[in-house]
Structure 1
Amino acid sequence: MLNGSLDGHLFKKRNDATAVLNWNTRYQIALGLSYLHQSCHKCIIHCDIKPGNILLDASFAPKVADFGLAAFVGRDFSRVLTTIRGTAGYLAPEWLSGVAITPKIDVYSFGMVLLEIISGSRNSSLETSYYTSSSSYHNVEYFPVQAISKLHGGDVKSLVDPELHDDFNLEEAERVCKVACCCIQDNEFDRPTMGEVVRVLEGLQKIDMPPMLRLLAALTEH
């Protein structure tokens, strides 16, 4: 993949000469990723969706990589039991409870990635740590809690990567932010399917204002 991984473009280091991704490219990457779960012969739950596992080809089309944690589920099964853990900052709450997982864990991670595409910065201060059965969300500063507050306050513009210098489509940014905040809802049943995400990002379906993230807000406060 000629353009490396998405994290190399979003989280640039000070001396990195990598060009800033413009808004149109970011939106197309988001739309390209939204087809997860929809176009496979079998339903694949990736379990570790994050910018480091998203590779970009010569035209910046995204490809999901590293299926080391993936669970392959047959068409007749909707849930799979597992004890593995993904990367800190992208984990759905149900990972920590030890219950059976569904494709909605990828939806949650996708929502977190969307917020990072919007902001150009990491949601979490933890970059490489992994949760275990006894770990928690402590010492993690969550951008998503700020994002949904700004969304409710009508100030999505302040969430967009300053490196874009206001050169972006505000309507699309609000749409992406709404989708992201719906994807990271505490309860998996409140999250959209990736099919619904596709229709919203393509402008074919409207989406309601997502409710506040009670669990994430409470964990952040503590």
Structure 2
Amino acid sequence: MPNGSLESHLFQKNPKILDWKTRCQIALGIARGLEYLHEKCRDCIIHCDIKPENILLDAGYNPKISDSGLAKLLGRDFSRVLTTIKGTRGYLAPEWISGIAITAKADVFSYGMMLFEIVSGRRNWEIKYDRMNDYFPAQVMKKLSRGEELLTLLDEKLEQNADIEELTRVCKVACCCIQDDEGDRPPMKSVVQILEGALDVIMPPIPSFIENIAENPEEGSPTPGF
């Protein structure tokens, strides 16, 4: 792919800064790709390793989901698949870490974690001054629950140039996708509809692992995948 990986644009020094419109296009394209894998193939395909490194960008910055080395086929007559191979730390759903057979909702969790990184332009977990409250998903949820300004959390390279309604929608979708209980996470079909503006989204509850960080900042784990 001529424009490399999403990871190279978000976290590495790259002369091309992805503007907000392009980031929204990429987020929606990935959601559509996952919807296809989960719901439109003959068998459900769980990618199992959704992260910026595995999103490649073509000449028009349209995303392509790559690296299916960990992918699992889930026949339509089955609801779960057991896999002992884990994806990338930081993007793993809590049930997967617990050793439970997974569903396509494991990809939804990873997608939500990646959405936060598309917004911030940095890894979700970058400790500054040894403060646990720098965990980006926790910052987003705190501001959303308080009705505070979100533009201050946007990737500083964008200089707050983003549509606030779109930004709020993307952040709420990310919060929905990382819910503790997989049943509370939306299917990718709904994620696509929300990002397209065809479906409303409400602010979900704060996941327990984020609440634990807030209550025990010196002891909490930044994410169930770390």
Taking structure 2 as the reference length, the TM-score comes to 0.86
How far apart, in 1, do the equivalents of 2:53 and 2:73 lie?
A: 21
| Structure 2 residue matching 1:63: 3-state secondary structure | strand
Query: How many Å apart are 1:18 and its aligned residue?
Result: 2.3
What residue in structure 1 maps to residue 8 of structure 2? 8
Range with bigger deviation, 160-169 or 35-44: 35-44
How far apart, in 2, do the equivalents of 1:6 and 1:43 lie?
A: 25
How far apart, in 1, do the equivalents of 2:210 and 2:19 lie?
A: 30
Counterpart contact for 1:124–1:140, Cα < 8 Å: no
Question: Is structure 2 residue 208 aligned with structure 1 residue 214?
Answer: yes
Query: How many Å apart are 1:141 and its aligned residue?
Result: 6.1
Counterpart contact for 1:56–1:62, Cα < 8 Å: yes
Query: How many Å apart are 1:120 and its aligned residue?
Result: 0.5
What residue in structure 1 maps to residue 43 of structure 2? 42
Count of residues in Structure 1 that have an aligned counterpart in Structure 2: 207
CA 1:51–1:140: 2 relative to 1, 3 Å: farther
Question: Is structure 2 residue 85 aligned with structure 1 residue 92?
Answer: no
Counterpart contact for 2:133–2:139, Cα < 8 Å: no
Question: Is structure 2 residue 71 aligned with structure 1 residue 70?
Answer: yes
Range with bigger deviation, 73-82 or 57-66: 73-82
CA 1:215–1:88: 2 relative to 1, 3 Å: same
Q: Which runs of 5+ in 2 are unaligned?
A: 220-226
| Structure 2 residue matching 1:111: 3-state secondary structure | helix
Post-superposition Cα deviations, 1:123-149, rounded to whole Å, max 9, x if no partner, equal: 1249xxxxxxxxxxxx99632112111
Query: How many Å apart are 1:157 and its aligned residue?
Result: 1.4
Question: Is structure 2 residue 194 aligned with structure 1 residue 200?
Answer: yes
CA 1:125–1:165: 2 relative to 1, 3 Å: closer
How far apart, in 2, do the equivalents of 1:164 and 1:25 lie?
A: 11
What residue in structure 1 maps to residue 138 of structure 2? 145
What residue in structure 1 maps to residue 160 of structure 2? 166
Query: How many Å apart are 1:38 and its aligned residue?
Result: 3.6
Counterpart contact for 2:31–2:188, Cα < 8 Å: yes
Query: How many Å apart are 1:214 and its aligned residue?
Result: 1.7
Range with bigger deviation, 62-71 or 147-156: 147-156
Query: How many Å apart are 1:5 and its aligned residue?
Result: 0.3
- 1:69-148 matches, cutoff 5 A: 69-125=70-126, 142-148=135-141
Q: Compute the RMSD of aligned alpha carbons.
A: 1.8
How far apart, in 1, do the equivalents of 2:80 and 2:30 lie?
A: 22
Q: Percent identity of the aligned residues?
A: 56
What residue in structure 2 maps to residue 19 of structure 1? 16
Post-superposition Cα deviations, 1:185-216, rounded to whole Å, max 9, x if no partner, equal: 11111110001101100000101111112223
Counterpart contact for 2:49–2:70, Cα < 8 Å: yes
Bigger helix fraction: 2
